[in-house]
Structure 1
C-alpha cells in the first residue's frame, strides 16, 4: 500500500509541476552529475577566452609573494621561540618524557 501511495504522489507531482519526480538516488546522482558537467562546460567556455588573452599581473604577484615572505619572517622572529617551546612540549608529552 505504501508503494502505491508513493506512485500516486509521484504521478500527482508530475502532473502539477510538469516534471518527472526522481524515483531513486541513482537517477538523482546521474542528473546531478550531468547538470554539473554542463554547468562547468558553460563556465569554461565563458572563461577560457579571458584566460588565454590575459598575460597576468607580474608586479602584483611579485609584491604579494614578497609581502607574504616578510610576514612569515616577522611572525617567526616574534613567535619563533614560543612555537619551538610548544613543539618540544608536544613531542615530550607524546614520547612520555614530560
Structure 2
C-alpha cells in the first residue's frame, strides 16, 4: 500500500458522506494529503506509512509546513490528524492515529 491509496480511500469515504474533500492541497511549504471541510470544522489529514514516522511527527509536519495557515481566519475549528498506516492492526499499530486542535 502507498500513502496515495489511503488518500483515495478517504476521499471516496468522505465524498460519499456528502462532505467537501480536497486532496494534495498546496501550501507555501508543501501539500496536505487530505482536507475535509464541514460547516464548522476543517480537518487536515497527513498520511504516512509505518516506516515514515510517528503520529506526533506527522502532526508536527502539518504545523511546520503551514497546512492550516489559510484556514485560521475562517472562524472554523481546525483539527490536525496524523495517521500512520501499517500492514495490519496489532499491538504495534494500534496507536497510529493522533489528532489535535489548533
Same fold at TM > 0.5: no
Query: Structure 2 length as normaliser, TM-score?
Result: 0.25
For the pair shown, the structure with the greater C-alpha radius of gyration is: 1
Which structure has more relative contact order (CA 8 Å, sep 6+)? It is: 2
Richer in helix (by share): 1
